Amino acid sequence: MRSQIITIILLFLTLSCQEINDKSIIKGESVSFTKYLSLEDSSSHKIKKTFDSILKIPTLEKGVDSLEFRLWVVDQLSLGSNLFILKYQNNNWVGENIFFIEGHDSEGKERHIFNKKKGIKIDGNAYIKRHFISLEKTFPLIQILEKYNLLNFPTQRSLDEYKGGCCLDGVVYYYEIATKNSYRFCVYNNPQCCQQVKENKVIVEFINELQSSLPKNEYCWPNCSTKT
């Protein structure tokens, strides 16, 4: 009888631990896996896939153990792009910024910058520089994602008010959110130029708040004037 009681207690503790471990860290997240991409015919999704391949990073489209957020900052007026990777794993936040320049342009021609810039190193067909970001346990990304409803936010091209943007050149933002149960990929072209569209304004506010939440000068890395 005593052994049966011990067995029942151990079973109860096991189930309780599983329930805690399986609990989503995002409030109200669906239990079943859901996937949202920008429009299926979107060239942005293909570009992002190319970036994944260049940087040799795994896709998030099948979900992750806990939470991973990626913000791609693609400046249309310069060669370089930045990727911010923010992960929650083992009860800690891990951050990384990757600055990269593709070795070939959109027509497949080799960029001469690789031959002209002294001391530049090429990894495969791109210049890549990685920088780890030190984050506190209290880093508020989850609260910021929930505040701006980015778990359910539409991609820009799906908006009725969006007519191609208000300026042709600027900064394009891709963002990805992956959890245990879902994946989301959205694209926003030059949202700063077109803030009369409320979703553009929300994205700008989100980026500003994310920037202010990162350690000083980390968002502008590697182009911060205070960095050596």
Residue-wise pLDDT for 26-41, tens only, equals 665 655 667 777 655 5
CA dihedral 208, 36, 99, 214 (to 10 degrees): 30
- Which of 71-75, 96-100, 134-138, 217-221 shows the lowest per-residue confidence on average (mean pLDDT)? 217-221
pTM greater than 0.85 (yes/no): no
Contact 66, 179 (CB under 8 A): yes
Percent of the chain with pLDDT over 90: 28
Where is pLDDT greater, at 58 or 24? 58
pLDDT tens string 59-87? 998 889 889 999 999 987 777 889 999 99
Measuring CA to CA, how many Å separate 54 from each of 32, 133, 144, 200? 31, 21, 29, 29
Among 196, 200, 178, 198, residue whose Cα is nearest residue 187: 200
CA distances, 164 to each of 24, 160, 174, 197 (Å): 36, 11, 16, 12
- Report pLDDT digits (tens) over 96-130: 999 988 765 555 555 555 444 444 555 556 788 89
